[in-house]
Amino acid sequence: MKTYLFDLARVILFPKDPNYQGELNAKYKELKDTAGFSFYDHFMLNEELLEHISRNLKGASVCIFTSGSIQGAPELAEKLNIFQCIFSAEELGMSKKEADSFKQLAKLMNKPETEIVFIDDMAENVGAATAAGMTAIQYQNNQQLIEQLAQYA
């Protein structure tokens, strides 16, 4: 059985402003304590992909490996409950740019690297996961990802 390990930012969660190029964790940290802050005024979930995961990856282990802490936003709790585990590189003292981080994560998950499919939008992170022995897919859009995931389901 495969384990699917998804990045959060710009795979599952996007900025509402399509022109925003910064980090989502930094934006969330900056805004979360401001008066009148509403999470979904600034961020949006990839509902199509979440639905695909719920429908088509049943029986598989599905997790998140994210860089920071935005996954802890209370507004995301219900939507992210389809994931069996959520790992934060920041909290674990890891870097998604290093192959060793992926090897350590596989040990934490008690899974061989060869059974893990990692999905991320950043080429550098995809390269690190591949170097660690995982299958890795660089997210470009939902159609491309869904077609590639079908090869492993």
Burial degree of 81 (CB within 10 A; 0-12, 13-18, 19+): exposed
Domain count along the chain:
1
CATH of the domain at 31: 3.40.50.1000
Please work out, in degrees rounded to the nearest 5, the angle formed at the alpha carbon of residue 78 by the alpha carbons of 77 and 81.
Answer: 85
Helix (H) or strand (E) holding 39: helix 39-42
User: What pTM was computed for the model?
Assistant: 0.95
**Pairwise pLDDT comparison (153 vs 31), residue with the higher score:** 31
DSSP type of residue 81: G
pLDDT tens sequence across 102-145: 999 999 999 999 999 999 999 999 999 999 999 999 999 999 99
Query: CB–CB of 25/68 below 8 Å?
Result: yes
Determine the pLDDT at residue 56. Answer: 93
Determine the pLDDT at residue 2. Answer: 87
Residue with the two structure tokens 């585990």: 85
Determine the pLDDT at residue 114. Answer: 96
pLDDT tens sequence across 56-76: 998 899 999 999 999 999 999
| Parent domain of 27 | 3-149
